[in-house]
C-alpha cells in the first residue's frame, strides 16, 4: 500500500500497486532499507533512471495475525541537497577562481617576457659548440612557457564569469554534431557512443557552453575506459525540464574521491588540471540546472543532468 505523495515521488503507476516493494527498491538500489535496524536514514536511490536523495523513517510492528509489517515514511530531499551542495561548490569555485585570476595576472607578464627573450636569443645568438643542443634548449624553454600560458588561459577562463548566450537549436542536431566530432576518436579507442533521445526537439540554451559540457564528459570517459567501452547519452523531457543521463562503463571513481569531482583543481589524472568537471558544474548551474554523479569502481560512472528547456 502506498499513498498519493509517495506515488508521485517514486513515479509509480496504479498497475504496480499491490506488488512487492522490492519491485521499487531492489537489493542493489536502496533495498537494504527493509533490513536496516536504523529508524531514520538518508539514502541515494535511482528511481526510473534518476538519482534521488530520500530521507526514510521506518517503523516495525506485528499485527494481530503476527505478520511482520513495516511503515516507511520518506521525504524527497533531492532538490534541497543539490542546492546545498551547489552553494558549497559555488563558494569554493568563487574563492579558487579569484585566487587563480590573481596568480595568473601576476605571473603572466614575466612569463611572456621569458618567452620573448628565449625566442630572441634563439634568433640572434649562435654558439660555437653544441649548437644543436643550444637550439633544443631554447625551443624547450619557449614551448614550456607557451604551455604554462595555455594553462593560465584555462584558469582565467574558469575564473571569469561567462554570460549565458541562449539560442534556439534542435537537440538532435546538437548531438549529431557531437557524434561527428568524436567519430574518428571513438573508432580509434574502440568505444561506442549510443545516443538515445526520447526528446529531440527545440531547446533555448547556450549551445557553445553546452557543447563544452559534453566535450569534457566524453574526454573524461575516454580516459576512464581502458578498452572496448560504451558511452551512452539518454535525454528525455519531464515537465518543462530536460533530463540527460550520461553514462560510461569505465573504471569508475573511488567513493572517497566521488564527493570531490566537481571541486576546482581536483583531479585523479596524472596530467589533468582538475578544471574540466568544475567548468561542467559551473555551466550547468549558470543555466539554472542541476548535475549529480554516481559511480562504482570497475563498473562505470553516470552523470544526471537536469536543465530548463529554455534558459530565462
pLDDT of residue 188: 87
- Given this model, what pLDDT does residue 15 score? 62
Q: Which positions of the chain have pLDDT values less than 50?
A: none
Query: Is the domain of 197 the same as that of 139?
Result: no
Q: Domain total for the chain?
A: 3
Domain boundary among 134, 159, 184: 159
Residue 97 has a pLDDT of: 66
**153 and 187 Cβ atoms separated by less than 8 Å:** no
DSSP state of 204: E
> Same domain for 171 and 153?
no
**Residues 20, 48 within the same domain:** yes
Domain end residue (candidates: 125, 143, 159): 159
**Among 136, 50, 144, 152, CA closest to 104:** 152
As a whole number of angstroms, the distance between CA 125 and CA 193 comes to: 52
Q: How far apart are the first and last CA of the chain?
A: 41
Tell me the helix, strand and coil percentages in the chain, rounded to 5: 45, 25, 30
Task: Show which of 159, 192, 212 is a domain's final residue.
Answer: 159
d(CA 203, CA 211): 13
The model's pTM: 0.60
Tens of pLDDT, residue by residue over 103-152, are: 776 777 788 888 888 888 877 777 777 778 888 888 888 888 887 877 77
User: What is the domain extent for residue 137?
Assistant: 82-159
Amino acid at each position: 500500500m502506498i499513498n498519493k505523495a509517495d506515488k508521485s515521488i517514486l513515479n509509480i503507476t496504479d498497475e504496480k500497486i499491490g506488488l512487492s516493494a522490492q519491485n521499487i527498491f531492489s537489493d542493489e538500489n536502496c533495498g537494504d532499507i527493509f533490513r536496516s535496524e536504523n529508524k531514520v536514514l538518508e539514502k541515494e536511490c535511482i528511481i526510473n533512471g534518476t538519482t534521488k536523495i530520500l530521507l526514510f523513517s521506518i517503523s516495525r510492528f506485528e499485527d494481530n495475525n503476527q505478520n511482520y509489517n513495516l511503515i516507511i515514511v520518506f521525504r524527497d530531499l533531492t532538490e534541497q541537497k543539490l542546492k546545498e551542495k551547489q552553494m558549497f561548490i559555488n563558494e569554493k569555485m568563487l574563492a579558487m577562481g579569484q585566487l587563480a585570476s590573481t596568480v595568473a595576472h601576476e605571473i603572466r607578464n614575466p612569463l611572456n617576457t621569458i618567452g620573448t627573450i628565449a625566442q630572441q636569443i634563439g634568433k640572434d645568438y649562435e654558439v660555437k659548440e653544441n649548437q644543436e643542443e643550444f637550439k633544443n634548449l631554447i625551443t624547450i624553454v619557449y614551448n614550456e612557457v607557451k604551455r604554462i600560458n595555455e594553462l593560465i588561459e584555462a584558469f582565467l577562463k574558469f575564473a571569469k564569469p561567462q554570460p549565458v548566450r541562449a539560442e534556439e537549436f534542435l537537440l538532435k542536431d546538437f548531438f549529431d554534431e557531437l557524434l561527428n566530432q568524436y567519430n574518428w576518436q571513438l573508432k580509434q579507442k574502440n568505444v561506442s557512443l549510443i545516443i538515445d533521445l526520447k526528446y529531440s526537439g527545440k531547446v533555448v540554451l547556450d549551445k557553445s557552453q553546452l557543447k563544452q559540457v559534453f566535450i569534457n564528459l566524453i574526454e573524461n570517459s575516454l580516459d576512464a575506459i581502458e578498452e572496448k567501452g560504451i558511452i551512452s547519452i539518454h535525454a528525455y523531457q519531464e515537465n518543462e525540464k530536460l533530463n540527460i543521463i550520461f553514462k560510461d562503463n569505465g573504471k569508475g571513481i573511488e567513493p572517497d574521491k566521488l564527493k570531490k569531482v566537481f571541486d576546482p583543481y581536483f583531479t585523479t589524472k596524472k596530467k589533468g588540471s582538475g578544471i574540466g568537471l568544475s567548468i561542467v558544474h559551473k555551466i550547468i548551474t549558470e543555466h539554472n540546472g542541476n548535475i549529480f554523479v554516481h559511480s562504482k569502481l570497475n563498473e562505470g560512472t553516470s552523470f544526471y543532468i537536469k536543465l530548463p528547456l529554455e534558459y530565462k
